[in-house]
Amino acid sequence: MSSAHPERKMMRHKIHRFQLAWALLLIAFCLSCGCTAGARSKMMVNSMKPLLEHMNTAARKNNDIKLVRDAMPAALVQMDGLVEASPDNKYLLATAAENYYAYSFFFVEPTDKKAAENLYLKARNYAFRALNQNKAFKEAASGSLDDFSNALQTFEKEDVPAMYWAVSSWLAWMRISHSSGFDSVIDFPKIEAMMDRMLVLDETFNYGAVHILIGAYYVSIPDTYGGIAEGADYHFEQAFDISDSKYLLWHVFYAQFYAFQVQDKQLYLDSLETVISAPDDLFPKEAFSNQMAKKMATQMREETDLLFLD
């Protein structure tokens, strides 16, 4: 009995070691499967850029506003999932920012400012996640204006989409947010630096969108913060030239931001009429935006007398 007891004890010890070894192998296997699945998902998402570009092109060509509006919430949730799978994909992050901005601007802001505010913030955060892939920019984002401006010099033309949607959503959030306050005003110099850099890198991006952004910005902010109505008009005209005046949203923004701000009622009405009377097939590749522009222009014209003093 005394000689068997040590043998049984040794056998139990071997069994425990065997079980532990298998447990560790099982854990390692599960972890490797998880990592492999994650890596595969990321690889698959990263290979989807051509497909996403085709989907974006198709949406832009679609002139059925209701169809696009109804489809966008599900598309945004899917976009969130893609970002989860590939969180450092700059193209995906910029595209998500663009889609959240567009959904908020066209369909949410007119009826629910608070919800739009949150969506604009989400769009801005996605865009800045793309920009923060640039280490120099990430480190300078909360630093001095000089450091921030120097970091912007490291960006190239391919970074313009993320820069544009970052600034657009940032300014849109400021425009409707009740909590932006003075803290937002002190960000104006950095916003201006980003717009200036975009203008250098690619002034033709999205049919002159950077010019529209700058024009709307300078005519909207108070003179005490650098607002310049004359300079704003120049940028709108540049966007009209770049787009051959076919992208009708620019005429809506010209009326909404410039003509209204300088209280030129006739210019306001003329700009809206340019949009309303334009052929439906003026710019087939941007049919959705042009249909939205027509809808906005019609509503704005009906409210003209509420906006002007005379």
Please state the domain extents for the chain.
Answer: 1-47, 49-307
Residue linked to tokens 């989400």: 122
- Confidence class of residue 1 from pLDDT cuts 50, 70 and 90? very low
Return the sign of the alpha-carbon dihedral for residues 237, 242, 244, 248.
negative
8 Å CB contact between 225 and 185? yes
- What pLDDT is recorded for position 187? 86
Give yes or no for residue 27 having a pLDDT over 50.
no
Residue 38's identity, in one-letter code, is G
Give yes or no for residue 306 having a pLDDT over 50.
yes
Say how far apart CA 73 and CA 308 lie, in whole Å: 36
Helix H or strand E segment including 51: helix 49-61
Q: Identify the DSSP state of 258.
A: I
Level-2 CATH architecture, domain 49-307:
Alpha Horseshoe (1.25)
8 Å CB contact between 97 and 169? yes
Among the listed residues 304, 214, 218, 208, the one whose alpha carbon sits nearest the alpha carbon of residue 263: 304
Give yes or no for residue 24 having a pLDDT over 50.
no
- Token pair belonging to 75: 């598309």
pTM: 0.84
Instruction: Return the number of other C-beta atoms located less than 10 Å from residue 104's C-beta.
Output: 25
- Three-state DSSP string of 5-33: HHHHHHHHHHHHHHHHHHHHHHHHHHHHH
- Confidence class of residue 40 from pLDDT cuts 50, 70 and 90? low
- What pLDDT is recorded for position 309? 80
Among the listed residues 298, 215, 285, the one whose alpha carbon sits nearest the alpha carbon of residue 250: 215
Residue linked to tokens 């970002």: 83
- What pLDDT is recorded for position 63? 96
Query: What are the start-end ranges of the H helices in the chain?
Result: 4-46, 49-61, 65-85, 90-103, 113-131, 135-140, 145-152, 160-176, 181-185, 188-201, 205-220, 229-242, 249-253, 260-261, 265-276, 287-302, 304-307
Please give the C-alpha separations between residue 135 and each of 86, 102, 127, 138, 239, in angstroms, as whole numbers: 19, 28, 15, 5, 32
- pLDDT tens per residue, range 183-207: 567 889 999 999 999 999 999 999 9
Return the sign of the alpha-carbon dihedral for residues 104, 110, 113, 115.
negative
- pLDDT tens per residue, range 142-199: 899 999 999 999 999 999 999 999 999 999 999 898 665 545 678 899 999 999 999 9
- What pLDDT is recorded for position 47? 75
Say how far apart CA 195 and CA 189 lie, in whole Å: 10
Say how far apart CA 81 and CA 68 lie, in whole Å: 20
- pLDDT tens per residue, range 93-118: 999 999 999 999 999 999 999 999 99
Say how far apart CA 212 and CA 283 lie, in whole Å: 18
Instruction: Return the number of other C-beta atoms located less than 10 Å from residue 76's C-beta.
Output: 18
Please give the C-alpha separations between residue 307 and each of 112, 120, 141, 191, in angstroms, as whole numbers: 21, 26, 38, 28
- What pLDDT is recorded for position 146? 96
- pLDDT tens per residue, range 234-279: 999 999 999 999 999 999 999 999 999 989 999 999 999 999 999 9
Say how far apart CA 228 and CA 261 lie, in whole Å: 11
- What pLDDT is recorded for position 132? 97
- What pLDDT is recorded for position 74? 94
